[in-house]
Amino acid sequence: MATLVLQLLTFRQAETLPPLFASLKNQTDKDWKLLVLDNGSSPEVREKQATAIKEAAPDFPSEFFFSDKNLGFSGGHEFLYEKNNADYVMLVNDDVILEPDYIARLRKFLDENEKVGAVTGAILRWNFLDSGSVKKTEIIDSLGLGKNHAHKVFDLGAGKTFGPSSTPVKVFGVSGCLPIYRRRAIGVELFDPAYVNYKEDVDVAYRLKKNGWLAMMIPEAKAFHKRSFQPFASRKNISVELEFLSYRNHWRNLRKHLSFLDWLRDGWAIIPFETAKFFYFLFTHPSVIWRTLNDL
């Protein structure tokens, strides 16, 4: 049977770990190991996280690592990826809750479909109530990644109400929130650490597609995400640093993955879209433009 490792990054928060670990304890498939990296938290927060992990330890095998420096999402997961050789690797956010059959359904689908390199379930939203309890919703967080002719990549269905289905859906890629990747499809490097945060899952989506692997969304596998960054919310709430990372990494992906033929075919959509973004940042946050040009 193919082996599975769960990779979890923690950073500056511990309040979402109990509901996450409770959902992991309730999984019908428990044949996996959890690897945790504390990604640059303070000693106090790190101790809280270590305590939560120790309390959960009797229910599943786990291993805890820590880094004094924040390696970012890309670097943190790449660190854990190099610490294991499992056939399947699942990325776990510290603010998610899985339905009991989430892992079992995705794992079974990978076992039965050798051409599939990545799978995700239906990721919906959840929130803390004032009482401290959890409220699950039917609002979609991500049904996988989609891509339009301008090569803008987005979370499918985000913000809409989920309509239950039993039919697996082919998607451009899978979000970095709760996917399972097939190591044979990924190769020796999961994420390029230079991405730091944002768009590294898009890079993987392009890589898998170019190499002939499929990405699938399994709607019967459900989980919930307490998303802090809303991609469709007002941009005034987005930090300049996040804008920079998102813009730079978007261009990194275009440079890495678009061929001359791609530009010939889709240039009519890409060029106006990118021109509009360029002037938007030039007049609102010019540092985003200059830092991107310098990095690339």
The alpha carbon dihedral of 179, 19, 157, 266 has a sign of negative
> Using CA atoms, how far apart are residues 31 and 52, in angstroms rounded to an integer?
21
CB contact set of 192 (below 8 Å; sequence gap of 6+): 74, 78, 200, 203
pLDDT in tens, the chain (296 residues): 899 999 999 876 667 788 899 999 999 999 999 999 998 888 887 887 777 777 776 778 889 898 889 999 999 999 999 999 999 999 999 899 999 999 999 999 999 999 999 999 999 999 876 556 788 999 999 999 999 999 999 999 999 999 989 999 999 999 999 999 999 999 999 999 899 999 999 999 999 999 999 999 999 999 999 865 555 444 555 789 999 999 999 999 999 999 999 999 999 999 999 999 999 999 999 999 999 999 98
pTM, to two decimals? 0.93
Residue with tokens 């499809």, as numbered in its chain: 185
SS3 of the chain: helix, strand, coil, percent, to 5: 40, 25, 35
**Is 99 in contact with 222 (CB distance < 8 Å)?**
yes
> Using CA atoms, how far apart are residues 53 and 57, in angstroms rounded to an integer?
6
Structure tokens at 121: 């379930």
Which among 144, 157, 262, 247 has a CA at the least distance from the CA of 197?
247
> Using CA atoms, how far apart are residues 140 and 229, in angstroms rounded to an integer?
14
pLDDT at 232: 42
State the alpha helices, DSSP H only, in the chain.
17-25, 43-56, 72-81, 102-112, 183-186, 200-210, 240-257, 260-284, 286-295
> Mapping DSSP to helix (H, G, I), strand (E, B) and coil, where does residue 126 land?
strand
Residue with tokens 């992990």, as numbered in its chain: 53
Residue 20: exposed, middle, or buried by beta-carbon count in 10 A (0-12, 13-18, 19+)?
buried
Domains and CATH numbers, the chain: 4-225 (3.90.550.10), 235-295 (no CATH)
**Is 146 in contact with 190 (CB distance < 8 Å)?**
no
